[in-house]
Amino acid sequence: MSRRRKKQEEHVNLERWLVSYADFITLLFAFFVVMYAISSVNEGKYRVLSDTLNDVFHSRPTSPTPIEFDNALQDQPSIAEDPDFIDLPVPENDKSLTPPENPEFETLARDIAKAVQPLIDNDLINIKQNDFWLEIDIKSSVLFGSGDARLSEDAEDILASIAQLLMDYPNDIQVEGFTDNVPIKTRYFPSNWELSSSRAASVVHLFEEEGVDPKRMQAIGYGEYRPITDNTTEQGRNTNRRVNLVMLGQGDPRQLMQLRNQQLKQDSMTAEQKTDSKQSSDFKAIFNIQ
């Protein structure tokens, strides 16, 4: 007879409960650590927060009346009887900027209009005015070649005739250069900042040569950041490439310059809103969204 093999008995581990117990203890320890961290308050930080909130809700306002920004500029400009001139919007809620009397604006505007009437008829020069300044908007294509800041011969003749008229008045003159949003990167113009500034400076140099007091003038380059219309079309970019001659009226020049910059920002915001609205409409048309 073959010997029967004794069946090996399986070893029973009586300490398996220790594994579960250790996991439970670990989780319980982590739980109490988290509860302690939550209940612990940094008195220093709490005091700083409490003092700050107390100052905000109980301190007196620094200004007795609220400052209004939304109504700083009128929504729409009024058109003068003469179609060659446009009245620009001006703020009405600032008593410190009471419109001064500038009767010379009307005379100067008409004299300049007579000198450059053909360009006005072709929409290459626009003359705008309000109670604070007289603005002559000249398309860059009239003055410069593409990507260049050197005045053409025709441009020199045009600006010389304007300079002769400006010499008769003591008002400060602000020459502003603007470009479209097409990037430029050349040896002389690394960006549109340099191009717009150089174009404004070229006009100032010519005015000085023609006898305009340089102390009255300043050249400012805004680059591509003050558009007045949509930059997505060739016509819009051509409109945004411009040089503005701004003769300031009577009053504090710093306030007038600040007001002028405010006007430019308002025009830019309006142009950007129109661009966003147009792009949204084009998107809906492409995907047939109602």
The token duo for 11 is 């070893």
82 falls in which pLDDT band (50, 70, 90)? Answer: low
pLDDT tens, residue by residue, 232-255? 999 999 999 999 999 999 888 889
Q: Is residue 7 part of a domain?
A: no
CATH number for the domain spanning 162: value is: 3.30.1330.60
pLDDT tens, residue by residue, 257-268? 899 999 999 998
Residue 53 or residue 269, greater confidence:
269
- Considering only CA atoms, which of 252, 237, 264, 108 is closest in space to residue 176? 264
3-class secondary-structure state, position 112: helix
User: Which H or E run contains 86?
Assistant: strand 85-87
Q: Is residue 223 part of a domain?
A: yes
Query: What is the structure's pLDDT at 99?
Result: 64
Please answer whether residues 258 and 266 qualify as being in contact, where contact means their C-beta atoms are separated by less than 8 angstroms: no
Q: Is residue 262 part of a domain?
A: yes
Q: Is residue 8 part of a domain?
A: no
Query: Domain count of the chain?
Result: 1
The token duo for 126 is 């626009």
Query: What is the structure's pLDDT at 75?
Result: 47
Q: Is residue 44 part of a domain?
A: no
Q: Which residue has the tokens 């009586």?
A: 14
Mean confidence (pLDDT) of the chain: 81
Q: Is residue 67 part of a domain?
A: no
Residues shown for the chain: 290
Q: Count Cβ atoms below 10 Å from residue 65 Cβ, excluding itself.
A: 6
Res 105 pLDDT > 50: yes
Angle formed by the axes of helices 153-166 and 103-115, nearest 10°: 150
3-class secondary-structure state, position 210: coil
Res 169 pLDDT > 50: yes
Amino acid, single-letter form, for residue 107:
T
- Considering only CA atoms, which of 114, 102, 117, 83 is closest in space to residue 246? 102
Q: Is residue 163 part of a domain?
A: yes
d(CA 203, CA 136): 13
Query: What is the structure's pLDDT at 73?
Result: 41
Q: Which residue has the tokens 């470009």?
A: 179
The token duo for 31 is 């739980």
In order of 45, 46, 89, 171, 180, the CA distances from 40 in angstroms are 12, 11, 60, 69, 59
d(CA 174, CA 177): 10
Q: Are strands 173-178 and 217-221 parallel, antiparallel or unpaired?
A: parallel
Q: Which residue has the tokens 């009245």?
A: 87
Residue percentage of the chain with pLDDT more than 90: 51
Q: Is residue 231 part of a domain?
A: yes
Which of 92-101, 107-116, 171-180 is the least confident region? Answer: 92-101
Amino acid, single-letter form, for residue 11:
H
**List of E strands, 97-196:** 125-129, 133-139, 173-178
Residue 30 or residue 38, greater confidence:
30
Q: Are strands 125-129 and 85-87 parallel, antiparallel or unpaired?
A: parallel
Which of 17-26, 145-154, 172-181, 213-222 is the least confident region? Answer: 17-26
42 falls in which pLDDT band (50, 70, 90)? Answer: low
State the pTM of this model: 0.64
Find the domain containing 250 and state its range.
Answer: 85-89+99-285
